[in-house]
Amino acid sequence: MAEYGTPRPKRRRGRGLLITLVILLIIVGGVLFAADRFGRSYAERIISDKVSEQVTNQKATSEKPDVTIEGFPFLTQVLHGHYDEIKIELADFTGPADPKGDKKIKLPLLDIRAKDVQASINTLRSGGNIVAGTVTGTGTIDYKQLIGLINQPGLTLTEKDGKLTGSAEVPALGQKFKVTGVAKLSVSNGVVHVGFDDVDSPDLPNLPGIKSIIAGYAKNLGLDIQVPALPLKLKVQQISAKPDGLQFTAGASNVTLNSSGV
């Protein structure tokens, strides 16, 4: 009986060691997960606070920036000192559209993506610079705001086949003619230019002077839009017509994410 009974306690001890090891692994995993979450939240909060300061310094407003450091686990990225992408969303971003600040432009969302972000462990410990190789941002100026900035009665703006089209009734010769045109969009030094150079109507009579009247009206539809100063040194580079408004794309390179400067 003794020969058959002796191995059983050993099996119990082996099973007990395995259970203890599993429990320890769970505890360690939980601690690492908690540390990962804490470290990520801390870094996201620091970046959010600094971007918020930049928005204020530029005399703009927005909801508190929502920052998300993409990728998992966060601690592995910390060890490598490299982060693939950081997402920064600013809801209800509003800023001045002219030097005096009399006109405002409101963006439902300013969507910013920082990529190729470098920050070593020593940098994080010392509070050094978190630098993004490239930063891009997108926002949309809705057509209602654009019509208000142009300030021409009866004007409607829509997107058709990827182009901005405008139409309105123009008074001439004691009657009104519905004219339409396709806008030319361009960006220069961060300023968006909207120009209607070719406006016409099939109902226009072939009379002297009528074309010049329409051309004068088209000239009044031209507008230079000073997009509000954007955080993280973003400058408008491209503009395109979308169903819900004019969408701009802004960019910058070698940007310090945790700086409160403009």
In the prediction, which pLDDT does 67 show? 87
Residues 22 and 115 occupy one common structural domain = yes
In the prediction, which pLDDT does 219 show? 75
Residues 185 and 129 occupy one common structural domain = no
In the prediction, which pLDDT does 158 show? 92
Residues 100 and 53 occupy one common structural domain = yes
Residues 98 and 179 occupy one common structural domain = no
Residues 15 and 89 occupy one common structural domain = yes
pTM: predicted TM-score of the whole model, two decimal places: 0.75
Domain end among 112, 136, 160: 136
Residues 92 and 121 occupy one common structural domain = yes
Residues 125 and 208 occupy one common structural domain = no
Domain end among 71, 106, 136: 136
Q: What is the mean pLDDT of each run of 10 residues along the chain (262 residues)?
A: 52 56 51 52 78 87 88 66 85 84 87 87 69 93 90 86 85 74 87 81 67 72 84 92 94 84 57
Domain for residue 248, yes or no? no
Range(s) of the domain holding residue 195: 145-226
In the prediction, which pLDDT does 29 show? 47
Domain for residue 241, yes or no? no
Residues 154 and 205 occupy one common structural domain = yes
Q: How many domains does the chain have?
A: 2
In the prediction, which pLDDT does 198 show? 74
Domain end among 136, 168, 189: 136
In the prediction, which pLDDT does 33 show? 47
For the record, the structure tokens of 187 come out as 């960006």
Residues 128 and 66 occupy one common structural domain = yes
Residues 129 and 17 occupy one common structural domain = yes
